[in-house]
Amino acid sequence: MSTDDQNMVLAILTQAMLGAISSNVRMVAIDLNRPVWPVSFFLEKDSATDREEIEEIISTFEVGMMDVDIPCAGFKAEVLVTPATQPLPETPGVKVFLKREAQ
């Protein structure tokens, strides 16, 4: 995948997340190096409201991807709960959102 295509995918995902990220979201990452792209959402605590927002984000992202000619085998959302007392794990791919946290 070209750099322009990667930037387009990241822009579409970022646009899908606008206004949908709550203070409970610690990080969002996407791995474009796999056939099916995992979009990982790291939450501080499990939340039905945030899970619904994540479904909306993925739906909006899917619609945005329909408008571009970038080959993709698909993508899937992964929701992981990592309390603020634990460090975020290293994730493959690109961090699209990273919450600023106190040290």
Q: List the domain range (segments joined by +) for residue 68.
A: 3-34+45-86
Q: Return mean pLDDT, the chain.
A: 89
- Decide if 22 is inside a domain: yes
Task: Determine the Cα angle at 48 with ends 62 and 84, to 5°.
Answer: 100
* Backbone torsions φ then ψ of 91, nearest 5 degrees: -125, 145
Q: Is residue 96 part of a domain?
A: no
Residue 54 belongs to some domain of the structure: yes
In this predicted structure, the answer to whether residue 103 has a pLDDT above a threshold of 70 is no
As a whole-number percent, the residues of the chain with pLDDT over 90 amount to 55
Report the pLDDT value the prediction gives residue 56, as an integer from 0 to 100.
94
Q: pLDDT band for 68, please (50, 70, 90 cuts).
A: confident
In a domain, 51, yes or no: yes
Do β-strands 94-98 and 75-81 pair in parallel, antiparallel, or remain unpaired?
A: unpaired
